[in-house]
Structure 1
Amino acid sequence: MSESNQPPLDDVAKREQMSGDFLDLCDDFIKFSEECAFLFDAFAAVTREPECITEDTIEGIRHINFWLKYQVIDYREKIDRQRKYWTSLSRKQKG
């Protein structure tokens, strides 16, 4: 590639930062999905023994569902921000 076709150094640094941020997001999401798998197994176990469903259990499930909902929203927003930023860098490089 000739020097005139290479992106400016600040764009290279931005892409490297973006790549690092993306890898961090992937790692975080893997941990989150493992937590979800554990929670889903726990929910399934509770439904197999309805006699163990107390008010405390119900409140715990409500709390976890609230947490899950906002974790998913947060991941969706992070992914969307990264997608938009990556798209703007790609357009800037093209031209």
Structure 2
Amino acid sequence: MIPNLPADWTIERVRTLSGDASATLLSLDRFVVVEDWEQGDYSVLRPRVILSFHGLCLVQDDDEWFMGELDDDGSIACWSSYGSDLAEAIRGL
């Protein structure tokens, strides 16, 4: 399943803001986790949107954007939340 971007967003706008002409939406059919450094564990995310930027990814879970890395098996390991603003999360790449 390919998700829809948030309202007022297009893939062209994402590409322009990120400077990555090959940025793309990924299918949600994959395993996505975020590491919990304090607990030494991880939590499974239920992504609504996944954007890929040459191996780095932004994953939207609820209203929060997480940064992570696409693994060879298609799963994504995120390390931190970048807040609820997609533009700010893109600037954090």
The interval holding the TM-score normalised by the smaller chain is under 0.3
Alignment TM-score, normalising by the size of structure 2: 0.17
Is the radius of gyration larger for structure 1 or structure 2? 1
Alignment TM-score, normalising by the size of structure 1: 0.17
Greater fraction helix: 1
**Structure of greater relative contact order (alpha carbons < 8 Å, 6+ residues apart):** 1
